[in-house]
Structure 1
Amino acid sequence: MAAVRRWSEGMSSDNIKGLVLAISSSLFIGASFIVKKKGLKKAGASGVRAGVGGYSYLLEPLWWIGMITMVVGEIANFAAYAFAPAILVTPLGALSIIISAVLAHIILREKLHTFGILGCALCVVGSTTIVLHAPQERQIESVTEVWDLATEPGFLFYTALVLTAVFILIFHFVPQYGQTHIMVYIGVCSLVGSISVMSVKALGIALKLTFSGMNQLLYPQTWAFTLVVASCVITQMNFLNKALDTFNTAVVSPIYYVMFTSLTILASVIMFKDWDRQTPTQIITEMCGFITILSGTFLLHKTKDMVDGPSLTTSISMRSLKHEEEDGFDEGVPLKRQDTSRIP
């Protein structure tokens, strides 16, 4: 309790606003994964699946409901980055994993094992640890300050590495391995996402300053960040849809979270130098919290097809068969598809 009291007294009002917005965002985004998955399944049953290049889901109302839910969550997430540092906001995405896993258990019949529940608890503990030791938001008076941070050699080098890796994945690995290896689609989403978060934070700061009376829309840097955000979000949505349609939701969500969060924290540390304003004890505690979250997502991933009781093999087989009958395609193997004849 003493630690919580010290935290509440020392945490800035901006950080508290960012925290509330981040939690709200996780609730919406976690639910959107399930609704979109249902829409993708329904669209795939009567048209060309998104996983093999189809876009029939664009005519499916359920998919659009999921997309609108995700947009609401992303807007809240967008606002959170304007008030709090990325090292606080991004790890709270673990809450969306919990929401997604629980709803997948209830709605999609993707069973949540006892160790999966423990994984959810670890995500909550890790997120709480990070929140209690998060750095204060950097005080920025103009979008040009953010531009100066984004054009420093360290972040430019990181951006160049990310773009190179994304182009290699899209043009070389996606055509050959996109349908069989989940890391291809998720890799593109996560790498692009780390750049988009930095641009979202810059744009959020610009809008916050504009609403407070300091118009930042006059600066070309604001519109440059807007263009980067739009390009990155379109790319992320395209490849995330492919990943959701091809692989199990209980696998896509945690793996995407781990990669996206790790790369975003790295990008934030390079660009905004969050750790320069913290003591070694705070940094180590935050890293322990992040490792705890990773442990939770690992448990969720490893136990996604396990059920309680002795009839493990039979239960998995029945579940796989039921999915084949209902959906017309197999999701039995999350990281590598069984039916290679479906690959174009």
Structure 2
Amino acid sequence: GFGAGLALALASSAFIGGSFVLKKKGLLRLCGRARAGQGGHAYLREWLWWAGLLCMGVGEAANFAAYAFAPATLVTPLGALSVLVSAVLSSIFLNEQLNVHGKIGCILSILGSTVMVIHAPQEEEVSSLESMAEKLKDPGFIVFAVCVLVSSLLLIFVAGPRYGQSNVLVYVLVCSAIGSLSVSCVKGLGIALKELFSGKPVLKEPLGWVLLVCLVICISIQINYLNKALDIFNTSVVTPIYYVLFTTAVMMCSAILFKEWQHMVLDNIIGSISGFLTIMCGIFLLHAFRDMPFTPSLLPLFLQPGRADPHLPWSSVDRHQSCQHQPLLPSEDKGSHSAEEEEEET
């Protein structure tokens, strides 16, 4: 049950994170041939690219199956580990620099994921399509779904034409809001597949087909507007914002639809939220400062190499730099002005 879902979620992150590296490695081997960024399709003849695509397919399938065994509150935040895996493997196999901020972000992501696993809800509320249908009829979820659809339409047709090119939140909010509904569809389809393998006549149930159609529509909208956001704004900006908003929306939808939080004690609720916030900080550090070089000169003077011993004499350069960062006191400032005035009078 829960252990299988956790294992599938972790395996999904590993496969998806590794797929990015394999596909990137395959694209880099296209020396002299038409690159994908130039409209070429030579990568289709590169086996590494296909291996990466296969890994991504396996990862997405594992992620899909994880929702059938574990709560969405746990599975969705653990998707951040794919970013961590990709960053670590890129630094090893692609020689991409992982600076201090990135390493701290990786550590925070691991710690946050561990905290979320420890405090995640252990029991599963929905185990059949019949119970899923009852959950979907809940007035709270109906209100949530209507709010999501109305807000998405307003963002697409009202805010999009005006602010879509200048505000990163417009398209990312559309992806996140619709994504919360797509995760609910995935959860229902995962339950349907589990019942199908157990021999139940699931194919005759109309709910399964309705969920499948809704999932295709939601994913199409997500991909469309996520591509728009990535085309306009920097990836290092879009990725952490999308992760935070998408995961928050999924956790809200899960709390309303599956009511997983009702069976959690206060300690576990605080632990889950703290773990999510820790992952959020880690993802932010990993992306926001990805291209920022970190040198010892950025450290305070007492932490810089050669400054560990406080008894070492200051060089004239250090003294000059330290004085540059010290503002004049009001009395000194006035004294300097008075001295200048006296010189002008003479």
- TM-score grouping bracket, smaller chain normalisation: 0.7 to 0.9
Q: Distance between the aligned counterparts of 2:241 and 2:76, measured in 1? A: 14
Instruction: Identify the residue that residue 294 of structure 2 maps to in structure 1.
Output: 308
Give unpaired runs (5+ residues) of structure 1: 1-13, 48-56, 313-344
1:22 corresponding residue in structure 2:
9
Once the two structures are superposed, what CA deviation does each residue of 1:67-116 show, in whole Å capped at 9, x if it has no partner?
Answer: 55433322111100001111111111120121233355567876432022
1:143, distance to aligned residue in structure 2 (A)? 0.5
Matched AA of 2:37: G
Which residue pairs with 1:298 in the alignment? 284
Contact 2:171 2:229 in 1 (8 A): yes
1:93 to 68, 79, 97: 79
Q: Which amino acid aligns with 1:215?
A: P
Alpha-carbon distance between aligned partners in 2 of 1:295 and 1:177, rounded to the nearest angstrom: 27
Q: Distance in 1 between matches of 2:226 and 2:17?
A: 14
CA distance in 2, matches of 1:23, 1:168: 36
Distance 1:249 1:100 in 2: 14
Partner residue in 2 for 1:335: none
Quote how far apart the aligned CAs of 1:149 are: 0.6
CA, structure 1 residues 34+232, in 2 after alignment: closer, same or farther (shift >3 Å)?
farther
Query: How does 1:260-279 map onto structure 2 within 5 Å?
Result: 260-279=246-265
User: How many angstroms does 1:32 deviate by?
Assistant: 4.3
- 1:19 maps to a residue whose letter is L
Using the size of structure 2 for normalisation, the TM-score is 0.74
Contact 1:104 1:249 (C-alpha < 8 Å) held by counterparts: no
SS in 1 for 2:295: coil
Contact 1:83-1:137 at 8 Å conserved across structures: no
Q: Could you list the runs of 5+ residues in structure 2 that have no partner in the other structure?
A: 28-33, 299-346
Are residue 115 (structure 1) and residue 101 (structure 2) matched? Answer: yes
Structure 2 equivalent of residue 323 of structure 1: none
- Answer yes or no: is 1:243 the counterpart of 2:229: yes
Deviations 1:290-316 (A, max 9, x none): 11112212222332221121688xxxx
- Structure 1 residue 166, shift from structure 2 partner: 1.7
After superposition, the CA RMSD in angstroms is 2.9
Change (3 A) 1:311 1:299: same
Structure 1 residues 156 and 32, CA gap change in structure 2 (3 angstroms): farther
How far residue 234 of structure 1 moved from its aligned partner, in angstroms, is 1.8
Q: Counterparts of 1:168-187 in structure 2 under 5 Å?
A: 168-187=154-173
1:217 aligns to what SS in structure 2?
Answer: helix
Bigger radius of gyration among the two? 2
Q: Shift of the alpha carbon at 1:267? A: 0.5
CA shift digits 1:253-291 (9 cap, x unpaired) = 322221111110110011000011111111111111111
- Which has the larger displacement, 231-240 or 173-182? 173-182
Identity %: 50
Q: Is the 8 A contact 1:94 1:124 kept in 2?
A: no
1:196-215 alignment to 2 at 5 Å?
196-215=182-201
Deviations 1:1-42 (A, max 9, x none): xxxxxxxxxxxxx11111111011112323445667897x94
Write the letter of the residue equivalent to 2:177. L
Change beyond 3 A, Cα 1:165–1:107: farther
| 2:125–2:260 contact (8 Å) kept in structure 1 | no
Structure scoring higher RCO (CA < 8 A, sep ≥ 6) equals: 1
Q: 1:64 to 1:249 in 2, by over 3 A?
A: farther
Q: Which residue of 2 aligns with 1:165?
A: 151
User: Could you tell me which amino acid in structure 1 is paired with residue 218 of structure 2?
Assistant: C
Closer/same/farther in 2, CA of residues 72 and 126 from structure 1, 3 Å limit: same
Distance 1:42 1:30 in 2: 22
Contact 1:29 1:73 in 2 (8 A): yes
Q: Does 1:146 align with 2:139?
A: no
| Counterparts in 2 of 1:168 and 1:107: CA distance versus 1, 3 Å | farther
